[in-house]
Structure 1
Amino acid sequence: MIKKLNELVLPMQRRIEVLFYLMVAFALLGPSVGIAITPDFKLTFFRVAFLLLAGVLIIRLVTHKKIETSDLHPVRWYFAFFGFWFVYSIISLTWVADMKMGIRYTVFLGMMLPLALSFPYFIKTEKVYWRILKILFGVFAVIAIYPVFESITTIHLPSSRHFEDVGNVSVTSFFRNQNDLATAMTILIPFLITALYILNIKIKYKVIVYGVLVFALFSLFATGSRSNTSFVLPLILLTTIASVPFTVKRKQITLKNIGISIVLTGLAIVLVSGISMVALSETAKQRINEKIGSTGDFIDDVRNAASNQDENYENKSGKSATERTELIFSGFEFLQKSHYMGVGAGNTEAWMETKGFRVVNIHNWWMEILVNYGVIVFVLYMALYLWMIWRLWKIASHKSNQVVSQALRFGALATFISLIGFFIGGMTPSTAIHYTPMWCLYGIGLAVIVLGEKQLKQKENLSAVKNA
């Protein structure tokens, strides 16, 4: 009888896991993979997979009267905070200026929070962990490679704001705009770089990873994103280099390996330049060079806008710097007027419209949380974010596979670097409430903490028994 029950339960569990994998893959591919129901609504495959998975879990809860959560104890405060955040979002609807915006934003929050939490819930073994990493790698590889085709043909996907703009040389891949794609690449790049020297995988797989890294770098530069190219990329590279002595065994840090790293870096630069020469039009090259080359002017424009030194000052890098600075200062003004409780779910844009701004999205994830939800939610979010970074570093800094497995050390280090990069990268997308790469990154971090700290605890218990 028990054997028959197990035979029924195991296939069901596998089906649920498959739904989880599909949900994650479709989440990253976004609106490009779906069916348009109305001009204003698209039934994405992510939403279908999300609702199916939620329905199955609810049925299981009703049938079995419980859901196994004992493995989630290390991340219980994240579950608690996310629950509080969602409830706060619902309560904030009582004081929002625009109810439609508030409900829409709360619905997005209600989907993204479970997306992040689904990672530690479903990734209970290293086998599942490896499987989801392979799926993420495959999906991100498609996202990173498509811009080459997009640059040559100027064929944009339905999710792009340039979809019907025939001949537009901008690259957006599966995202709405260039900044979203650029931020996705700076989230991906740390995983590709660390995989090359942390993971003990076959050479042919390292060649594949390296190839995707080259395409990711091309996609990043092709976007012309100043923030991600001039600030986030150097930050993650410096963080990676600084972490090497603490995450790699001393005997592996040899002149030979350093030389190989330098050669591979130089080769990547040559390959990215070669792809750019072939794939990018002269118009695209000129636009990218002008945008990235104006980074210094952008900083000057931000500094002037922030200090209001010269009312007759003429922006040297376009309107973006002034607009973003004004959005941030207005955000602080709205926060004060809301008595630091926040203007309510998704209502930053509604308040910005009263100022008559051309752009109303605040373009800063940290300010988005602060202005929408107030000081309490923001402080808790940042505290847990920093705590995650610290815990991931503790896992990554164990150099021995006998303490923490190689796969988990890789995941911890890559996520650690990506989360640090996102401090600046999060200031690029117009909004991050439905920016799935960020939520998936958060989820991977939680899953690595659960599995990694479990291994550390087992090692400590084993050492205690031996010393007893």
Structure 2
Amino acid sequence: MLLPIVVMLCCCRREPQKSCCSLNHTYNYNNLNNFLYYYFFIVWFIYGLASFLWVKSYKWWIIAEYSLFIGVACIIICNKLLITTKYIGISLKLMYFVLTLHSLIGWFEIISGKYYFISSNMSAIYSINQYPASALGNTNNFATGMLIGFFISISFIYICRSWVIKTLVLLNALSMSCLIYMASSRANLIALILGITFLIFVKKNKFSKSIKVLLIFILLGSFSLIYPTLYRQIINFILELIGTCDNGDSISVRKNLILNGLIFLKESFLLGVGSGNTNYYMEINSCSDGYHTTYGIINMHNWWMEILVDYGVIIFILYIIMYIKLIVDNVMIYKTVSYNIQERYYALSFASFLIAYSIGCISASSNMTKEYIWLFFALILAFTNLVLHKSMQ
């Protein structure tokens, strides 16, 4: 997944600084230190290292810190080398190409019932239900990858000048949205609808808000026709989420994981149990008195809770601030940049994805070890820092 980007980065070379009105504007990397994003991830990684002093499992600590290091290194490298919007565009195209390959593999799996990248036990279940997974591990990870691909498609639809390419990208976006539905990843289905709704409201056009609301209802109606069981899945998901029964299903387990996580957080005096150690605490306590059973599941299955329980309240609050600021910055870039269509629609698609991902991130068992998610965030951060620095000049 990372190979095309790594190859591209190795080929990148610094260019002399251009004027602030240039389409492929460059910036002085030393000034990047003025931005909140860069510092936050360094602080997060250092805090994770410091948690070595109180963790109970060094095995889980090493796994989590290694993954966090890969993520932070990816962010630093992308910020260091992606010094023009042209480079960011090339990176997005390469990532989009790889995600498109995954989507094609997903369709092959659905049609043929053959799975070459998952275990035989899982492939038997997936084949019966016609679930796509590709090489991303499982349906939830696959759906998250398609969610990323869908919002990259949105930017390309607006940026591409050729109607042939626009049509192909649009069809690919529809294909990816269909694959999210086929994967039965309810959180990512809700995320997709939420991201599209946000995009419709934010996008500048001649329509009034009432017309936009009507368009959203038409869109939702179209979804119900194309995907007949979509809303039943979402409604059942919400009802199970707010219900009180514990029957061992997916939602019950997720609620128990959250309740146990809050207990662990309290016992750690809000400092967090340390990098990766939620898994350890869940493993040894899920069947103990005073805790909630998780039926052998030890991963948090909730990115927000994973950060909160592993790293404590301070890191969690800083992450929330960073996340909201990233959304606001990209919305402002979209609304204020007028001379660069690439920057405008990259910003719009990034902001829409971030809104969607706030729900989509509770789908996978853990996002810490997902390199493609770290890579996409690194591209978003590199783009945001680049445009913000340009506006400061």
Question: Under a length normalisation based on structure 1, what TM-score does the superposition of the two structures give?
Answer: 0.70
Offset of residue 444 of structure 1: 1.9
- For 1:450 and 1:161, the matched residues in 2 are separated by 44
- For 1:160 and 1:409, the matched residues in 2 are separated by 43
- For 2:253 and 2:114, the matched residues in 1 are separated by 30
**Which residues in structure 2 correspond to 1:189-268 (within 5 Å)?**
189-196=150-157, 198-229=158-189, 231-245=190-204, 248=205, 250=206
Q: Which residue among 323, 348, 355 is the counterpart of 2:286?
A: 355
Deviations 1:334-376 (A, max 9, x none): 0000011111110101111121332111100010011001111
Paired residues of 2:2 and 2:371 also in contact (CA < 8 A) = no
Q: Which segment is superposed worse, 108-117 or 420-429?
A: 108-117
Q: Which residue among 368, 378, 383 is the counterpart of 2:321?
A: 383
* Residue of structure 2 in register with 1:188 after alignment: 149
- For 1:369 and 1:399, the matched residues in 2 are separated by 33
Paired residues of 1:161 and 1:177 also in contact (CA < 8 A) = no
- For 2:98 and 2:105, the matched residues in 1 are separated by 11
Question: Runs in 1 of length 4+ with deviation above 6 angstroms?
Answer: none
Corresponding letter in the other structure for 1:395: I
* Residue of structure 1 in register with 2:331 after alignment: 393
Unaligned runs of 5+ in 2: 11-27, 288-293
SS at match of 1:201: coil
* Residue of structure 2 in register with 1:427 after alignment: 362
* Residue of structure 2 in register with 1:365 after alignment: 303
Corresponding letter in the other structure for 1:355: S
SS at match of 1:175: coil
- For 2:172 and 2:373, the matched residues in 1 are separated by 19
- For 1:190 and 1:361, the matched residues in 2 are separated by 27
SS at match of 1:386: helix
- For 1:161 and 1:180, the matched residues in 2 are separated by 18
Corresponding pairs, count: 361
Q: Does 1:439 align with 2:369?
A: no
Q: Which segment is superposed worse, 159-168 or 79-88?
A: 159-168
Offset of residue 71 of structure 1: 5.0
Aligned Cα RMSD in Å? Answer: 3.2
Q: Does 1:336 align with 2:297?
A: no
Paired residues of 1:155 and 1:163 also in contact (CA < 8 A) = no
Offset of residue 295 of structure 1: 3.2
- For 2:302 and 2:120, the matched residues in 1 are separated by 20
* Residue of structure 2 in register with 1:299 after alignment: 238
- For 1:347 and 1:159, the matched residues in 2 are separated by 26
Deviations 1:384-443 (A, max 9, x none): 111111111110112622xxx111111111111101111111111100101233212321
**Which residues in structure 2 correspond to 1:39-438 (within 5 Å)?**
69-70=29-30, 72-75=32-35, 77-158=36-117, 165=124, 167-168=127-128, 169-196=130-157, 198-229=158-189, 231-245=190-204, 248=205, 250=206, 289=229, 293-305=232-244, 313=245, 319-353=249-283, 354-356=285-287, 357=294, 358-398=296-336, 400-401=338-339, 405-438=340-373
Deviations 1:159-217 (A, max 9, x none): 56866648453211221111111122222222323432x32521121022112112101
- For 1:450 and 1:160, the matched residues in 2 are separated by 41
Q: Note closer, same or farther for the CA distance 1:23–1:189 as it changes in structure 2 (3 Å cut).
A: closer
- For 1:171 and 1:105, the matched residues in 2 are separated by 27
* Residue of structure 1 in register with 2:19 after alignment: none
Q: Which segment is superposed worse, 153-162 or 378-387?
A: 153-162
SS at match of 1:93: helix
Deviations 1:38-88 (A, max 9, x none): xxxxxxxx8xx89x97xxxxxxxxxxxxxx73252453x322222222121
The higher relative CO (CA closer than 8 Å, separation ≥ 6) is in 2
SS at match of 1:432: coil
SS at match of 1:397: helix
- For 1:359 and 1:427, the matched residues in 2 are separated by 15
Offset of residue 94 of structure 1: 2.0
Question: Under a length normalisation based on structure 2, what TM-score does the superposition of the two structures give?
Answer: 0.82
Corresponding letter in the other structure for 2:102: I
Corresponding letter in the other structure for 1:341: L
* Residue of structure 1 in register with 2:14 after alignment: none
SS at match of 2:54: coil
Paired residues of 1:147 and 1:219 also in contact (CA < 8 A) = yes
Q: Note closer, same or farther for the CA distance 1:71–1:410 as it changes in structure 2 (3 Å cut).
A: farther
Paired residues of 2:160 and 2:166 also in contact (CA < 8 A) = no
- For 1:148 and 1:400, the matched residues in 2 are separated by 39
